Amino acid sequence: MAVYRSGAGVFVLGRGGGAEVGSRSLTFAKSQPGGNMTFMAFSTLSGDNTNLEGDLELATRKFGALGSTRTALSVALTGPNAGNATITTMWDSADACFDARKAVMGDPEVVAAMQANNSVPVQLGLSEVRAEIGNCEGAFACAAVAIASDHSDEAVAEVAAQSERVIMPHGINGYRMVRMVAAGEQTGAYVNLFYCDSVDNYFAGSAAAWADAGFVAQAQKIGAQIVDRLISRMV
């Protein structure tokens, strides 16, 4: 299992107790006012994608030095940002995220790399990590964007358990749920990220979920509705 820091209301990974769910371990903790939480930032840029490995190395080195516990890079294959690159970073606090972004965007090495790539920032979104299961790495990240009427910790735990039970056996390496907290029109939405080595595996798991009575009943109970699906290739 890969738990960062130390993976929509609030569950945070590596901060508290764990629960066994099937063959994997789901680790989470309820966040309290003023308590600790894990943030995941999504920074999307347009530009030249011919040096993605070098871009990932640079981003990992710069953001990691300033406190990012996980830095990743992906390229969107679907949606309005198809062809654009997104850098994701994970933080112990929102202040740390924005302070690091300011420093990195002004770093001469980063400025030179962005100029060489003709990189232009497109959008930035900040989310809270709510749950994580398994190893959140793979060739692809498949995102199911959803809205819901029940934002309780109990609803989050049940959705994670249903996803582990029904979707992950179809070749999914890891699952992470985040809730967008500052992301323009997406603010308040949940992004269910499934990391896999085959997009077919994700669609097989998704089809199995919506044919499963328990999964459908839980979705109806919390008022969950899928509003978008996005596929990205990880670097």
Same domain (yes/no): 28, 142 = yes
In a domain, 23, yes or no: yes
Contacts of 39 (CB under 8 A, 6+ apart): 90, 91, 92, 93, 94, 97, 126, 127, 128, 129, 181
Instruction: Give dist(CA 45, CA 128) in Å, integer.
Output: 21
Domain boundary among 96, 126, 156: 126
Domains: count for the chain: 2
Q: Which of 1-10, 79-88, 213-222 has the lowest mean pLDDT?
A: 1-10
Chain Cα centroid distance, residue 110: 24
In tens, the pLDDT along 173-182 reads 999 999 999 9
Which CATH number do you get for residue 201?
Answer: 3.30.70.100
102 falls in which pLDDT band (50, 70, 90)? very high
Residues 114 and 72 in one domain: yes
Q: Among residues 2, 142, 134, which one has the least CA distance to residue 70?
A: 2
Do 30 and 132 have their domain in common?
A: yes
- Indicate whether 220 belongs to any domain: yes
Question: Domain boundary at 77, 104, 126, which?
Answer: 126
The pLDDT value recorded for residue 70 is 97
| Domain membership of residue 96 as a residue range | 39-126
Q: Which residue has the higher pLDDT, 114 or 15?
A: 114
pLDDT: which is higher, 5 or 193: 193
Residue 85 is predicted with a pLDDT of 97
Q: Within this chain, do residues 140 and 218 fall inside the same structural domain, yes or no?
A: yes
Structure tokens at 201: 């595996």
Segment 50-60 shows an average pLDDT of: 97
Q: Which of 8-22, 51-65, 181-195 has the lowest mean pLDDT?
A: 8-22
Q: If you average pLDDT over residues 212-234, what whole number do you get? A: 96
Q: Is residue 226 included in any domain, yes or no?
A: yes
Confirm whether 119 is domain-assigned: yes
68 lies in the same domain as 121: yes
Q: Are residues 153 and 173 in the same domain?
A: yes
* SS3 category, 204: helix
pLDDT of residue 13: 29
| Among the ranges given (5-14, 139-148, 181-190), the one the predictor scored with the smallest mean pLDDT | 5-14
Same-domain check for residues 132 and 228? yes
Per-residue tokens: 138: 């793979």
pLDDT of residue 200: 98
What whole-number distance in Å separates Cα of residue 205 and Cα of residue 209? 6
In angstroms, rounded to a whole number, what is the distance separating the alpha carbons of residues 68 and 91?
A: 5
In terms of domains, do 187 and 143 share one?
yes
Residue 10 counted as domain residue: no
118: in domain: yes
Residue 7 in domain: no
- Decide which of 106, 126, 146 is a domain's last residue: 126
Tell me, what's the pLDDT at 225? Answer: 95
Can you give the pLDDT at residue 25?
47
User: Radius of gyration (Cα) for the chain, nearest Å?
Assistant: 17
Mean pLDDT of the chain: 88
Q: Are residues 180 and 93 in the same domain?
A: no
Phi and psi of 149, rounded to 5°?
A: -100, -15
Q: Are residues 101 and 59 in the same domain?
A: yes
In a domain, 44, yes or no: yes
- What pLDDT is recorded for position 16? 30
Q: How far apart are CA 51 and CA 43, in angstroms?
A: 17
Looking at residues 171-199, what average pLDDT do you find? Answer: 97
